[in-house]
A and B are shown apart, each in its own frame.
Chain A
């Protein structure tokens, strides 16, 4: 094996990630820390991370059916490219997916929404990117569902994503939304992201070219993971800066 790449990952760009505390999203009230996180210089613990072998973590790229039958709902294929902030593909990386069924109900004991379960839909999948960083899977379009954040709150149609990338610092949990969904403008989770362009990048676009005749509608959802910094040890300077940062924001 070659020596691990220990170059740190770049810091986040202001406004493109949600804050922990968000008044519009009620569940953050008791869960968001009051202290700002302490910024550290990345070491081998952050610059390397778990890698998943496909023989131990087999892919399951078609969740639109189970052995006993096909799920109800609008069949879709989702394709995308996983790259880093330098535009380089992230090959052979694991993506985990989970979602509600076409009626907006999760196959989960905690979900008591009064919508039918589908015995042919389990709602979770796993795919790996190929050598070019591309992934593709088949599913059914998830339904919208109500939640209790505020009166008449409904989550827009979405598919949950989990990615690891090359290092512990590239871990990403996100949600993919659908172009044209009227619920997006009312959704506190989507709107926790301050930057409008960053929000919009979570919306998959319908693409006729990905659509399979007589079979499934096609959507594109590209993902960008943190890139490594151009100068290997530029965050050597962080200790002094970290103190100031923690104190400045200590009571927000």
Chain B
């Protein structure tokens, strides 16, 4: 059986692919509950990471002619990523539509950068959502205090902030998928 090809770092020069337009997931005309998602990324020494490629993917709202569900952003000189997108709604759990679990609204986020030999994956949840108690992914995270590293807060109307730490005392929880 063939074996999946190995990952290699995206390196510092991936910006040759970069198109700023991709950070706006509404650019094909999507309408609805528009939000901005932003945050900084720091390393284990507290340094801002200014060369990361950040990608988001959301299965809700469903993909359509006007909404592709995917975005890519570069962290800027202040180590900050920013996306414009639509707020997701609850999703079926890992057993699919036939299962009895439901996931709280979330967006998958991937960080690719120099010094990362493979992608780091996490999720963005939305503070105050009643579904967090029973969400099948958040429920896996122990100790419970670390769950907060996946939960964005509304810092201005419709602007949700989630800062990410790759390493250190308040290290973000990353997921193996």
Cα A98 to Cα B11 in complex, Å, equals 11
CB distance A108 to B175 under 8 Å?
no
Interface size of B in residues (CB-CB distance below 8 Å): 69
User: Smallest Cβ distance from B167 to chain A, in angstroms?
Assistant: 6
Q: List 5 A-B contacts (CB under 8 A).
A: A44-B96, A85-B4, A110-B12, A123-B16, A224-B2
Tell me which of B56-64, B79-87, B126-134, B155-163 binds A.
B56-64
Residue of A nearest to B106 (CB): A45
How would residues 198 to 232 of chain A score, 1 for a CB under 8 Å from any chain B CB and 0 otherwise?
A: 11011000000000000000000001111100000
Residue of A nearest to B174 (CB): A37
Which of these, B1, B3, B57, contacts A49 with CB under 8 Å?
B57
User: Smallest Cβ distance from A237 to chain B, in angstroms?
Assistant: 11
Cα A106 to Cα B95 in complex, Å, equals 45
Known contacts A17-B118, A33-B120: A38-B174 contact under CB 8 Å:
yes
A residues with CB within 8 A of B = 6, 8-9, 12-13, 16-20, 22, 25, 27-46, 48-51, 56, 83-87, 96, 98, 100, 106-108, 110-111, 122-124, 160, 162, 168-169, 171-175, 189-190, 192-193, 198-199, 201-202, 223-227, 233, 235-236, 239, 242-243, 245-247
Residue of A nearest to B28 (CB): A56
CB distance B6 to A17 under 8 Å?
yes
B76 at interface (Cβ–Cβ under 8 A)? no
